[in-house]
Structure formats: C-alpha cells, structure tokens
C-alpha cells in the first residue's frame, strides 16, 4: 500500500466514512499513512459533504430525480434564477461551484480542515479552571471572576495564560499551555490590589466593599491584556488600573468622571481606548506618571460644577462625548494590517449605530454605520465579507471567477452580536478597499430567540452565545448552521450529545434552531486561543474557546476528551469523607441487623421448646414516611421510629434520645433530648429517687449521657436476668400428685430427669450471657457526639450473634 501513488491512495480512502473511525485508525499504521490520512483536500471535501449547504442542495437536486412530479417545478425555479437547461453546466461543475461558494478559507489563510472537521463533529467538553475557596470553616465562598483576558506567546500564535480579575480585587493567572498544570492557578496578586484597602475597615468589610466595586458596573469587556509588554489593564468603577503581570503589582491608575464600561484591545504601539458611560478616552501608558493608587481613605466630593467642567479641567482632555450613553465594545481595526497608530476605532453599545473614529484625528468622529440593533459585542475578520447569493432552491449563483476575485480583494469584516426587538441579531459588515464593493448581512430571524451576548471567529466558522445559555456555530456567511451546544444541559462535564442538527423548518423553507433549554447560566464572553488563522498551527486540538459565564466561572471549551477538571477538588474531598462516613454507618447497621436476626432466630428456637414464656420478643418495626427515623435503643437493642425513647425498655416518663440506625431525616437533636430527659426526671418523685445524682452540666453533658446509658443498661440486664431465672425455675417444677406414693415419686423423677438436666443447662447459658452483656457497662471514655460506644465485651457479643 505504501508504494501506491498518493493520488490513488487518497481516492481509495475517500470512500471511508469518518464516523466509522476507519480513517483515524489508518493514521496509526505508519507515518506515511498518517501524512496521507490527514490530507487537507481530503478533509475539506469531508467537511463540505456534511455541511448544511451541500445537504440542502442534494435534497433539492434529488427531488426532481426521485419525484418526477416535481421536475417541472424545479425547472421553473431554475428558470427564475436565470439558469436555463441549455446553459446549465454539468453536475460536476455545479458541485465545484458549490464547493467554492462554501469554502470559508481565503487565499492568505492557512486552514487545517482536519481540525475543522473535529470542531464540527467531535463531542464538546468543558474543562473548568481551578476555583478558589476562601473563608473560615463552613463559611468558605468561591472567588468569582469579574473579567478576563488572554496572554499570548511571543509570536502571538497561541494562548499561554489566562488572566482574570476576581471579586476580592485580586488578579489571577491561569495556565493554558498543554502541561500537567493546565487549568491550575499559577499566580495571584494580593487581595484588594485593584480596589485598594481601606485602613478604617476590617478584612470582612473590605471584602464586601471590593465585591461591590468589582461588580457594580456589570461591564463585560473590562479587562485588556498586552502580551508584548506583559501588562494588564482593568476597569474598576471609574478607574483604570495598570498592572505588571510579572510582579502582579499595580503600576499606575487613571481616574475618569464616569464608570468604565468597555476597554479596547491593548497593544504596546497604540494607546488604549477607554469607554465610559458618556465619553471616550485615549489612555497612553507611556504618558502616565502616577506610580501608586491614592489612599482610599482620602475622599473628595464635587460640591458644584458639571461633569463637563470636570472633563475640561482634566489635563488629559482628549475625549469624545457620546450623544447616547452605554458603549459596550470597542474594536481597534488597522487599515493596513499593522498596528502603527493610523487605524480606525469602532465603538458599539446600547445605541443603534456603529461609531467610527480615526485615531490620528481623535476625538473628531469619522463616520457612522446604522445598524438598528443594540450591540453587545464587536469583533472582526481580516478578510473582506463575501456575500453568498443563494438561489430559490439553495444553489449558489456566484461563479468560480467571481469568488476568486472577491476573495483576493483587500478588506476586513465587522462582526456584531446584539439584540433587535427582543431577538438575537448577528450582523456582518464588509469594509473593502473599494467602497462600491461594500456588502452586509443581518441575521435577525434564525440567530436566536434571545439576546446575543458574545461572538468570535473560531477556525473557519463564527461562534456566538445567547441569553439562553446556547453556544452556536455558523458558517462565515452568518446564516448556515453548523452545530449547537447548551451550557445548562451538561455543566462541568464532557458532553457527547452536544451536536444538535437544526430540525425546525419555517414557513419559507428555512431551517431554524430548536431552542428548548431553560436559561440558567449564560456565556457572556468567549475568547479564542488561536486568534489568527492566517498563521496556521501544527498542534492539533489547541484551537479552543475560553468562556466566562454569568455566574463568574471560567472554563475552556474544547472538543473530544476533557482537558482537566480542577474545579471540584474540595467537593470531591468532602464527598469522599461523606462516602466513608456512610460506609461505616452501613457496616454498623449490617452488624446490628445480623445480631437482631440471630437473636430472633434463637428465641424462635427456644419458643418451639415451650420455655420462653417470660422473655419479651424483640420486634423490628418498619419506618414509613420521610419524617420518621429508624433508630436502635442503646439499652435493649429495640428498633423503633420515635426519637424520644424505647417503647419496651423501661417505663421512663421521657426516654433518652437513641442513636440512629438508618436516618431519613436530619432533624434529631441529641443534646436537646438529653436536657428534656433530665428536666422530666427531676419533676417525677419515683424516678428522682431512682436517679438522685442526675444533674444537667453543659460542659460534660455528652459524657454524663453515656455514663447514664451504661448505668441503665446494667439495671436492665440485672432485671431481665432475674425475670429469666424466675421463668426457668417455674418451668422446671415437677408436678406431684397429692396422693402419690414413694414408688410413684421415684418413677416420676426418673421420667423427668432429662428435662431437668436440659433446663439446668439453659440456666447456665443464661448466666454466661448476662455476665458477658453486663461487662459492656464498664465506662472507659465518652464517645463522640452521634456515635455509639460499643465496649470490647459488647462488641464480642455482637460479633458472636452476627456470625462475624
């Protein structure tokens, strides 16, 4: 096989189906087979054959072949598209044109279609980053993220670390590289590094103050990371904090008159654009001389004057005033592909237009682009937007020549995600070098039934999230669906059934998404780990998405097996302790159950001999309902459903709370029952005379209770032994007739000799049993609360009756 030409070999394996894993298994044979089985053209055809456009085209083409009645209708639709039967090209050319119309790659883009096929069809898994828990005892609380950014490698080809701001004012750095510590927290700054510590408040008050400041504005894009200079910029209320990521210490701060709502991408060569509620500012770190955060205890109050006056008096007065408040996303878009300071600034938010500024003439506005939607996220593609004109039956009308010319033209594409009249809106705007070739597309029908939260390019597709917790992938045309995954269906674990095929057909023949998930948590921000597809990459499976949920959790959305799981380490430890405790309880319940069954069997055996008239049989009552307990008496071993005492042990006015054998409700309180028992005994003369030294001691109540239980056990054993001996003596009496002679008496004694010997042997066994049980009353130490203290002699007795 290795001597075959590559073309022949690829033609042979093209008949294999990826779903049967035959092609994947073929890669394990040799390096030669591995290279050929990952051929880019082979997997490109596989992606195309299973795409939404090709399936739709094949469905319409097969309609005329399989159903002759539809042939005139299909021909009429073709005539409407201007494609007559005489001028139509062969089927092979039609497929080539459909492939060219679908192909997401551009001439200057290096796309790995094997990785692209994995993105489209492999199971989705989410690996959550390590969650910090801080606090005392059971009052530990999770540290939630309030912003995040990606720290890339030197060549900007792949993500190496993830930087997140936490609600306690600290900054954490997580590992993203494929190492053993992937997903773990590498470093963390001191608490209150972003918010400052108030010396007049204690730690708890400072923490509450920090949480309020970090979460008050609700800004999503409030963290920006400069990978070149290893610095991070974080927006906290109306302040920008610049932090050195190598030392995790603040470098400088800059205050603004309004709360910060959005930050642009940080680059070392261009200033950072800061958006507040009503203004836009350029923040250049090279001009900042403030080296430390002012003391938070020093407060100022604006007595008179407007906000505009404060802005005009600022030494950094280069700002742009917004006619409508609420910028949510800022995008830096270079015109020549390089960040040389001459690029455009695009601003979007709660207003219905996209604002464009030229950095060289800031704050003068350059132009606007009306959208009509309220945009929450703004991203871009470094390629021009190619609008795929589709015909009435889904066959693409662009020729190969037109597609080649359109993709070779320079330009870029703006991608927006937002809300239009209560529904999700995904919009694409082309920014070509020639304004006459500008094109746009607005998907406001099939994007989502709820607001779109975030959007990002991901490989050869676009990924966006909505308010229902869904993450959807579509083609670069903004319409053709690829797959869908919901965060709330399988949170925190790998998902094998995440791929959902659109199965709802609208009235115009288009397929819509079937959104049936109940919104619980949402993905409010997504960032790709491989942002530049034009660079290409050789590491398979590293093109993933870093997600930030509405509950403040951070995770890595990947494909295939789960990368790691550090989020539940403490929960797993607590669960292991709980399982160990339950295992001990089950073993104890098993031993006591076997002991009770053995005792019942012995009593049944003795009852058959007619010798147990004075012995009380032990019953095992069943528990019904969720508000009852199945418990075991510490004195006699009787099982009942009451938590106030044993029904057959002693005639006490109120019984001591018993240890639980199988708990169905956790509302039992041993200490409260013991106090109630003492108060009741002290109010009754009979029982006060029986236990005169019984007093309530809050410090040693548990030890006193165990001593009293053992004392009751001794008293019970003595009383029951006397009852058994008396019953056996009565059963051993030999009947004597009143007028019997000496010979008859001698004959009666001979006849009853065997019965007397048997009764005497039973009496000796009872003496041994009660002596053994009485030995368990020796008090050595008080057991822990909620545990049963079984002394060694009593343990041996239980083991004997349980057959252990």
On whether the 145-297+314-323 domain is CATH 2.130.10.10, my answer is yes
Helices (H), 290-378: 307-312
Q: How far apart are CA 411 and CA 63, in angstroms?
A: 39
pLDDT of 14: 81
Q: Phi/psi at 208 (nearest 5 deg)?
A: -65, -40
Q: Where in the chain are all domains bearing CATH 1.20.1280? A: 6-114
Cβ atoms within 10 Å of 498's Cβ, excluding its own: 20
Q: How far apart are CA 170 and CA 181, in angstroms?
A: 21
SS3 at position 685: helix
Cβ atoms within 10 Å of 309's Cβ, excluding its own: 12
Q: How far apart are CA 762 and CA 756, in angstroms?
A: 10
Give the alpha-carbon dihedral of 78, 84, 86, 90, to 10 degrees: -40
Q: How far apart are CA 217 and CA 195, in angstroms?
A: 14
Q: Phi/psi at 405 (nearest 5 deg)?
A: -70, -40
The Cα-based distances of 220 to 146, 235, 535, 548, 635 in angstroms read 8, 10, 28, 9, 64
Burial of residue 586 (CB within 10 Å: 0-12, 13-18, 19+) is exposed
pLDDT of 623: 32
**CATH numeric code, 6-114:** 1.20.1280
Burial of residue 327 (CB within 10 Å: 0-12, 13-18, 19+) is buried
The angle subtended at Cα 278 by Cα 275 and Cα 279, nearest 5°, is 50
pLDDT of 708: 77
Q: Phi/psi at 34 (nearest 5 deg)?
A: -65, -40
Q: Which residues contact 243 (CB under 8 A, 6 or more apart)?
A: 171, 189, 193, 194, 231, 232, 233, 234, 249, 250, 251
- Nearest of 108, 92, 110 to residue 100 by alpha carbon: 92
* Bridge-based pairing state of the strands 223-226 and 185-188: unpaired
- Nearest of 554, 571, 574 to residue 161 by alpha carbon: 554
- Nearest of 633, 465, 631 to residue 550 by alpha carbon: 465
SS3 at position 189: coil
459 and 115 in contact (C-beta within 8 Å)?
yes
Most distant CA pair in the chain, distance? 140
SS3 at position 256: coil
Q: What is the DSSP string of 226-238?
A: ETTTTEEEEEETT
In total, the chain counts a number of residues equal to 804
- Eight-class DSSP state of 608: H
H/E segment holding residue 24 = helix 22-26
Q: How far apart are the first and last CA of the chain?
A: 66
Cβ atoms within 10 Å of 356's Cβ, excluding its own: 18
Sign of torsion over alpha carbons 649, 654, 659, 663: positive
Three-class DSSP labels, 630-684:
EEECCCCCCEECCCCCCCCCCCCCCCCCCEEEECCCCCCCHHHHHHHHHHHHHCC
pLDDT of 180: 76
Q: How far apart are CA 123 and CA 643, in angstroms?
A: 51
H/E segment holding residue 428 = strand 423-432
Cβ atoms within 10 Å of 444's Cβ, excluding its own: 17
Q: Which residues contact 758 (CB under 8 A, 6 or more apart)?
A: none
SS3 at position 251: strand
What's the helix, strand, coil split of the chain in %, to 5?
Answer: 30, 25, 45
* Bridge-based pairing state of the strands 554-559 and 630-632: unpaired
Cα 367 to the center of its chain, rounded Å: 43
The angle subtended at Cα 802 by Cα 800 and Cα 804, nearest 5°, is 75
In this prediction, the residues of the chain whose per-residue pLDDT falls under 70 are 1-2, 20, 63-71, 73-92, 135-139, 155-156, 288-317, 335-342, 388-397, 490-519, 532-538, 564-574, 603-670, 673, 713-721, 724-725, 728-804
Q: How far apart are CA 3 and CA 784, in angstroms?
A: 77
Q: How far apart are CA 427 and CA 23, in angstroms?
A: 38
Query: Per-residue pLDDT tens for 415-469?
Result: 999 999 989 999 999 888 777 778 888 899 888 999 999 999 998 899 999 998 8
Q: Where in the chain are all domains bearing CATH 2.130.10.10? A: 145-297+314-323
Q: Which residues contact 305 (CB under 8 A, 6 or more apart)?
A: none
Q: Which residues contact 622 (CB under 8 A, 6 or more apart)?
A: none
């Amino acid at each position: 096989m290795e001597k075959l030409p590559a073309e022949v070999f690829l033609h042979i394996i093209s008949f294999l189906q990826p779903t049967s894993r035959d092609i994947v298994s073929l890669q394990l044979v040799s390096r030669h087979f591995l290279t050929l089985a990952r051929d880019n053209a082979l997997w490109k055809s596989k992606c195309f054959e299973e795409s939404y456009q090709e399936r739709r085209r094949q469905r319409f083409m097969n309609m005329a072949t399989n159903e002759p009645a539809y042939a005139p209708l299909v021909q009429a639709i073709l005539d409407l598209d201007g494609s007559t039967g005489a001028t139509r090209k062969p089927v092979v050319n039609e497929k080539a044109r459909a492939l060219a119309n679908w192909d997401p790659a551009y001439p200057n883009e290096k796309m790995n279609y094997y990785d692209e096929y994995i993105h489209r069809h492999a199971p989705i898994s989410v690996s959550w980053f390590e969650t910090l828990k801080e606090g005392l005892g059971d009052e530990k609380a999770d540290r939630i993220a309030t912003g995040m950014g990606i720290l890339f490698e030197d060549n900007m080809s792949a993500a190496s670390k993830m930087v997140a701001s936490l609600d306690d004012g600290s900054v954490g750095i997580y590992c993203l590289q494929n190492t053993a510590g992937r997903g773990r927290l590498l470093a963390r700054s001191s608490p209150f590094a972003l918010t400052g510590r108030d010396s007049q408040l204690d730690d708890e008050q400072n923490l509450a103050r920090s949480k309020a400041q970090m979460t008050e504005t609700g800004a999503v894009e409030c963290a920006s990371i400069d990978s070149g200079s290893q610095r991070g910029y974080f927006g906290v209320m109306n302040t920008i904090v610049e932090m050195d990521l190598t030392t995790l210490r603040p470098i400088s701060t800059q205050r603004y008159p309004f709360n910060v709502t959005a930050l642009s991408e940080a680059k070392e060569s261009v200033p950072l654009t800061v958006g507040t509620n009503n203004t836009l500012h350029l923040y250049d770190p090279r001009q900042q001389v403030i080296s430390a955060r002012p003391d938070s205890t020093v407060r100022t109050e604006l007595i008179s004057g407007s906000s505009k006056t404060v802005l005009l008096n600022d030494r950094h007065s280069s700002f742009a005033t917004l006619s409508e408040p609420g910028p949510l996303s800022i995008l830096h878009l270079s015109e020549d592909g390089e960040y040389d300071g001459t690029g455009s600034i695009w601003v979007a938010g709660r207003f219905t237009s996209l604002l464009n500024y030229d950095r060289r003439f800031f704050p003068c506005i350059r132009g606007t682009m009306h959208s009509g939607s309220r945009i929450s996220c703004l991203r871009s593609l470094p390629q021009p937007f190619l609008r795929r004109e589709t015909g009435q039956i889904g066959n693409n009308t662009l020729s190969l020549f037109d597609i080649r010319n359109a993709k070779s033209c320079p330009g870029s594409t703006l991608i927006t995600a937002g809300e239009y009249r209560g529904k999700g809106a995904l919009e694409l705007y082309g920014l070509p070098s020639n304004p006459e070739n500008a094109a746009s597309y607005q998907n406001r029908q099939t994007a989502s039934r709820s607001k779109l939260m975030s959007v990002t390019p991901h490989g050869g597709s676009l990924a966006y999230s909505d308010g229902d917790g869904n993450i959807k992938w579509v083609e670069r045309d903004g319409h053709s669906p690829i797959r869908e995954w919901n965060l709330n269906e399988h949170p925190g674990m790998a998902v094998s059934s995440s791929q959902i095929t659109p199965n709802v057909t609208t009235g115009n023949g288009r397929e819509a998404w079937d959104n049936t998930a109940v919104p619980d948590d949402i993905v409010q921000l997504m960032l790709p780990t491989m942002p530049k597809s034009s660079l290409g990459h050789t590491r398979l499976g590293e093109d993933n998405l870093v997600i930030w949920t509405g509950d403040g959790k951070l995770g890595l959305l990947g494909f295939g097996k789960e990368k790691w799981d550090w989020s539940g380490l403490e929960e797993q430890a607590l669960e292991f302790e709980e399982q160990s405790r339950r295992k001990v309880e089950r073993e104890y319940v098993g031993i006591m159950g076997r002991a009770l069954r053995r005792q019942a069997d012995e009593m049944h055996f003795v009852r058959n001999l007619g010798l147990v008239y004075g012995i009380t049989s032990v019953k095992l009552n069943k528990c019904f309902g969720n508000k009852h307990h199945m418990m075991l008496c510490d004195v006699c071993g009787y099982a009942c459903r009451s938590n106030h005492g044993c029904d057959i042990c002693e005639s006490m006015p109120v019984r001591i709370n018993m240890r639980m054998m199988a708990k169905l409700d956790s509302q039992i309180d041993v200490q409260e029952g013991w106090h109630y028992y003492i108060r009741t005994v002290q109010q009754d003369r009979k029982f006060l005379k029986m236990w005169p030294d019984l007093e309530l001691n809050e410090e040693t109540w548990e030890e006193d209770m165990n001593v009293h239980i053992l004392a009751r056990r001794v008293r019970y054993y003595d009383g029951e032994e006397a009852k058994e001996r008396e019953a056996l003596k009565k059963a051993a009496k030999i009947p004597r007739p009143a007028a019997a002679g000496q010979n008859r008496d001698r004959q009666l004694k001979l006849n009853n000799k065997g019965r007397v010997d048997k009764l005497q042997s039973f009496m000796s066994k009872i003496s041994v049993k009660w002596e053994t049980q009485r030995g368990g009353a020796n008090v050595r130490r008080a057991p822990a609360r909620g545990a049963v203290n079984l002394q060694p002699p009593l343990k041996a007795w239980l083991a004997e009756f349980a057959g252990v």
